[in-house]
Homo-oligomer: A and B are copies of this chain.
């Protein structure tokens, strides 16, 4: 039950007013608000009972990823010395994942980037995640992929203190995605492989219409974006974004 006024509608303009505009049973709407909607060609639509608001949480915390490298144990030793193992520095938001003390240099056909953090633990295959901005510095233009999907991606040269490794593939721009535990997925009413529509507020609003949902008992709730996406949307780690829809379908009450 809500009182819908012209003022409350105006405050929705920057985030978007849906057309038709949904009205719940019990909602009151002022004559000025009706004029406001009519003047913009927006129809008023009484909501169906099955569309009623539920108890699902409506926001997700943001985690911004800077460029980083995942290494196989073989490559750890090639870059940092025979028998070397990664040195945990601090835990990341995802359980079991950590930033390491190790950094290395990315070397591409056009340029290089120093002091790139290695994340642990070691993986089966090495993978390098950069932003599109980094790609222009390096002269490498990888596709947008989910982690682990490196078929047909470009390679790069990694330089460490004890040696170098030339990868034949493994450079990606990370596709933005949400991590969730199995329990959180139930709360949010989503399953692994779903896609969410997420939106930001603030002075630089952006909508991400196709955010992959990845569910695992090992995951914790986090919306992962890279630095380009963070800077374009004025987001930083710890901010939250709002859920505006699922699988390409907007929730009622949401618009562009």
Contact = CB atoms under 8 A, between A and B. Distances in A.
A41 B195 CA distance: 16
A164 interface: no
B14 A209 contact: yes
Interface string A223-236: 00001110111100
Contacts of A203: 143-144, 175
Contacts of A41: 50-51, 249
A245 B16 contact: yes
A197 interface: yes
A20 B43 CA distance: 12
A131 interface: yes
Nearest to A229: B232
Across chains A and B, which 9 residue pairs bring their CB atoms closest together, nearest first? A232-B232, A207-B207, A197-B256, A13-B248, A132-B231, A228-B231, A228-B232, A229-B232, A16-B248
26 contacts: A13-B248, A14-B248, A15-B209, A16-B249, A18-B249, A19-B250, A19-B252, A40-B247, A40-B249, A41-B51, A133-B227, A144-B203, A175-B204, A199-B209, A199-B256, A206-B206, A206-B207, A206-B208, A206-B209, A206-B232, A207-B207, A228-B228, A232-B232, A249-B255, A250-B256, A254-B256
A205 interface: yes
Given A41-B50, A205-B209, A250-B19, A256 B231 contact: no
Contacts of A205: 208-210
A42 interface: yes
Contacts of A232: 132, 206, 228-229, 231-233
B247 A255 contact: no
Which of A175, A205, A231 has the most chain B CB atoms inside 10 A of its CB? Answer: A231
A244 interface: yes
A195 B14 contact: yes
A110 to B, nearest CB: 16
A17 interface: yes
A143 B204 CA distance: 10
